[in-house]
Amino acid sequence: MMKNIKYILGLFLTLAFFASCEEETFEFGDIIAPSNLQITTEIVGQDINPTGDGSGVVHLNVKADNAITYKFVYNGTEKTSASGEMTYSFGTTGTETYTITVVAFGTAGASSSASVQLDVLVLYEPPADLLTMLTADSSRTWRIKAEATGHFGVGPGDGFEPIWWSAAPYDKEGFGAYDDAFEFNVDGTFSHTTNGDTFGKLPAMAADLGGDQGLVGDSNDEAVYALDNYEEGWSLSAPNGQETLTFSNIGYHGFYVGGDHSYMIQARSENEMSLRTIGAGGLAWYVILIAD
């Protein structure tokens, strides 16, 4: 008799549980993709020259029906803005065409996108002492200052100090970074001696350099990656008055993080410079280079 009571009670509780589950309903509302996406652009100084006044500064304002937030994508780097407003400071000297893609997000991740192309003029005459420091007026080779604290570092994308990690001397010994040589030539060419490999963020290297090579990153998504020596170009600019070094393709500072390959020169002396870049993940990465 007791077994029957337990069975009947168990069956009752089970049926009650499923009945209660069936009574609960979840309403997400209509999933509506944003529409009527409109991008308004302002190249600073465009009233004087169609490509701007040479500062390289561009303001964008985006609106769309049923949009909750917006994402701006330029050269593989993503920035988010709930207001739909964004400012870019381009740094490549001369008139260049830049493509910016905007993604508008609505409910449940529904999205719509559009792109805009802008011809922007950047006028900049690098100071003679900067050119001399970088190239020795002919050719100069640099290396990572591995013996210094903070030769590598990382921090938030809106900050200017490596507050999250600052490498101890020789922190990354044996990972393929400290034997790299960076040669800057006064004619605007650049050569990077990798000695066959490099170190950095595996997702960025896989995306930019030719797949993951069958590698699995460590707990920080970092790996040693096979990479031959290469050559490309470099240029100097000063968006918003900030001296900036930009590589024409994959050029980087010895720890590969992707991004737009532009490096703010935070500090420099006759034989040393501290650089900051925004990687593909939106974080700020730092390096100290010293003339070899």
Domain boundaries, the chain: 35-122, 128-291
Confidence of residue 6 (pLDDT cuts 50, 70, 90): very low
Provide φ and ψ at 227, rounded to 5°.
-150, 125
pLDDT at 226 over 80: yes
Our CA angle for 222, 228, 231, nearest 5°, is 110
% of the chain at pLDDT higher than 90: 65
On the CB side of 73, CA atoms within 13 Å amount to: 9
- Average of per-residue pLDDT across 200-207: 93
Taking alpha carbons only, the member of 248, 251, 250, 252 closest to residue 233 is 248
List the structure tokens of 130.
């900067």
User: What is 128-291's CATH number?
Assistant: 2.40.128.280
What's the CATH superfamily of 35-122? Immunoglobulins (2.60.40.10)
pLDDT at 200 over 80: yes
**C-alpha to C-alpha distance for 118 and 173, rounded to whole angstroms:** 43
* Helix boundaries (H) for 171-290: 202-209
Provide φ and ψ at 56, rounded to 5°.
80, 10
pLDDT score of 19:
47
Residue 55: other Cβ atoms inside 10 A: 20
pLDDT at 241 over 50: yes
Confidence of residue 68 (pLDDT cuts 50, 70, 90): very high
β-bridge pairing 77-81 and 222-226: unpaired
